[in-house]
A and B are shown apart, each in its own frame.
Chain A
Amino acid sequence: MNPGIYLLIILAATIMGSLTGLLISIRFYPLWEIRKVHKHMLKEGVKNGEWSHVKSFVDHHIKVVVKPNCETLYSLAFIHRKEGPYVLHIPAFSNYASFAFLDENTHVMGYITNKDIQHDKESTILIHYTEEEKKGLEIPAIQLDSRLCWIIGRFGVQNPEEIPAINLFQENIRLRKLSDGNKD
């Protein structure tokens, strides 16, 4: 074969390989990033349905997620569809608070914000996947449509003296499988 043809074939393989890699990356990059966080939490011993609380402001030593914010405290959890619906219990809270529910592709499927959180008593919210799972339950609900869901809680801190009280609030946020019934 003519050496020029060899070079053309190699060039074509390079271009096709680069484009294939690019398409794969565009499609899966958000998924890889979410999975990276999920794996990190599992490695730290935080199972699905359990909370990982960030109880102090992030500093420059923390390199888990790029561009971290350092004006809110976080509580993070993953839940998986195979574990069925969950019930989220949020203690009374009056500062800024939000819980975002992200699917594996970083789409925000829903929020719980200050308008859903009572400032004088505990709030209870059902996290479910089908209408059937909600039947007969008269509590506020959030419906998910993905296998894996990343719950990100953010809590505003007005001054550093509030941090111990917010940490206590974080520790009292509970995720309970609906199938476990009213154990506690």
Chain B
Amino acid sequence: MIFWTITILVFLGSIFLSIRFFGNLLDFVAEKSSGRGIQNGPWKTHLGVGRKSTSRIEKAAIARIGLGANDSEETIYWNAFTDQDNQDLHSSCNYRIVFNSSPQVKFHEKGFWSITVYGDDKFLVPNDEYKYVIHSTKALDIPQNGAMEILLSRKKPEKTDNWLPLPQQDENFSLAYRCYKATEGMKKHPLETDMPKIIRI
């Protein structure tokens, strides 16, 4: 009798623990695997966001890292957890995000893009300047051809406003590159889109 009670408790405990730590499994799915998603350099996306045809595990992963996200018709969300050399993004390093051409959004349809830094906990990085994002609707040092650079570092540089702060503690971080009203080119051929490079300095 005692043995079967223990067995049932072990069964129920395993269910509880499995549910309790499911979020951590989803983090792994989202960060370490592109699943059936798309990877262009270090940037990963999933064009099935918000769609019924997307698998349940992918829907769960999307709910974990991007609850309430628009579908790809409206916005394409790219996430990066590594740099161009496939090394984890880490706050102890400095990086340059290099755009070789103008981001692929329909500016004429009020489209815009943004780059945001998130800490290891997936929330905005605490900083005294309350600076978390660079987006195309703000005044930026953007030349005519769209080529530009954004610096990622803990310390604010003196020369440029195109800068985003990294976490002060040693931790991994991630980047989100949002393209509101992406061009048909990015939607149809995301693998061939010229994406910004993430270069460790």
Please report A residues at the B interface, Cβ cutoff 8 Å. 1, 6, 9-10, 13-22, 24-27, 29-30, 33-34, 37, 58-60, 62-63, 65-71, 95-96, 98, 100, 102, 105-108, 111, 113-114, 150, 152, 154, 156-159
In the complex where A100-B70, A111-B74 touch, is A33 in contact with B64 (Cβ < 8 A)? yes
Chain B: CB-nearest residue to A31: B63
Residue among A10, A98, A100, A106 with most chain B CB within 10 A: A106
CB distance from B121 to the nearest CB of A (A): 8
In the complex where A30-B63, A33-B67 touch, is A60 in contact with B51 (Cβ < 8 A)? no
C-alpha spacing A1/B73, complex, angstroms:
61
How many chain B residues sit at the interface, stated as a range, is 35 or more
Query: Is B28 an interface residue when CB atoms closer than 8 A count as contact?
Result: no
Query: Is B116 an interface residue when CB atoms closer than 8 A count as contact?
Result: yes
The stretch that binds A, out of B16-24, B85-93, B154-162, B193-201, is B16-24
Which residues on A sit within 8 Å (CB–CB) of B123? 60, 62-63, 66-68
Query: Is B189 an interface residue when CB atoms closer than 8 A count as contact?
Result: no
C-alpha spacing A20/B137, complex, angstroms:
47
B122 touches A13 (CB 8 A): no
Which residues on B sit within 8 Å (CB–CB) of A158? 137-138
Give the A-B contact count at a CB cut-off of 8 A.
Answer: 169
Query: Is B187 an interface residue when CB atoms closer than 8 A count as contact?
Result: no
Please report B residues at the A interface, Cβ cutoff 8 Å. 3, 6-8, 10-19, 22, 25-26, 49-52, 56-57, 59-60, 62-68, 70-71, 73-74, 109-112, 114, 116, 118, 122-127, 130, 132-133, 135, 137-139, 176, 178, 180-181
A65 touches B68 (CB 8 A): yes
B11 touches A29 (CB 8 A): no
B63 touches A70 (CB 8 A): no
16 pairs from A and B in contact (CB 8 Å cutoff):
A10-B6, A20-B14, A22-B18, A22-B22, A33-B63, A37-B68, A59-B124, A59-B132, A62-B124, A66-B66, A66-B122, A67-B123, A71-B114, A100-B68, A108-B71, A156-B137
Which residues on A sit within 8 Å (CB–CB) of B62? 30, 106
In the complex where A13-B7, A30-B63 touch, is A150 in contact with B68 (Cβ < 8 A)? yes
| New A-B contacts (14) at CB < 8 Å, excluding given A60-B132, A66-B65, A100-B70 | A13-B10, A17-B10, A21-B15, A21-B17, A25-B18, A27-B56, A34-B67, A60-B126, A65-B67, A68-B124, A69-B176, A70-B116, A152-B68, A158-B137
CB distance from A167 to the nearest CB of B (A): 17
